[in-house]
């Protein structure tokens, strides 16, 4: 099974496990129903941005659909390095590359979630879109 098909199969299982129809997930995520249907059938490659929108709407971490293989979006390149979960918490480690000068907007994490970033090169502005720059 190719990478896109594996990701799409995980997405379909996650949607069905959540009890959501294609229409409802499309409404919640802002992803077109036709696009979602093609993704789940493996007829379309998912963009990273689309997967962010869908997993956010499913109240699930991106790692539930992304495996250890890299995913390339228009702006962001992501590789899941590690995922550990127990009854108290879940921890995910990603290597993320953002194109120079690009902007990545993603939905907020669930309440209580913490995100720690380690920047190796360049600069990054992180926080709510409504926050003022300093």
pTM over 0.85: no
Q: What whole-number distance in Å separates Cα of residue 128 and Cα of residue 78? A: 21
Q: What is the DSSP letter of 101?
A: T
**Can you tell me the mean pLDDT for 74-93?**
80
Neighbour-count burial for 43-59, b at 16+ CB within 10 Å, e otherwise: ebbbbbbbbbbbbbbbe
Neighbours of 3 (CB within 10 A): 14
Q: What is the pLDDT of residues 21-69, one digit of tens each?
A: 999 999 999 999 999 999 888 888 777 778 888 988 998 888 888 766 6
CA-only gyration radius of the chain, Å: 15
Domain spans in the chain, listed from the N-terminal domain onward: 3-98
- CATH topology classification for 3-98: 434 Repressor (Amino-terminal Domain) (1.10.260)
């Amino acid at each position: 099974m190719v990478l896109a098909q594996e990701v799409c199969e995980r997405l379909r299982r996650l949607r069905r496990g959540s009890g959501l129809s294609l229409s409802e997930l499309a409404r919640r995520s802002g992803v077109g129903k036709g696009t979602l249907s093609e993704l789940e059938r493996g007829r379309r490659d998912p963009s990273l941005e689309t997967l962010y929108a869908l997993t956010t709407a499913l109240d699930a971490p991106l790692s539930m659909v992304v495996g250890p293989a890299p995913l390339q979006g228009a702006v962001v390149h992501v590789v899941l390095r590690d995922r550990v979960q127990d009854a108290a918490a879940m921890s995910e480690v990603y290597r993320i590359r953002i194109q120079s000068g690009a902007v990545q907007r993603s939905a907020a994490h669930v309440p209580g979630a913490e995100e720690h970033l380690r920047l190796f090169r360049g600069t990054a502005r992180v926080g709510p879109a409504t926050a003022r720059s300093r």
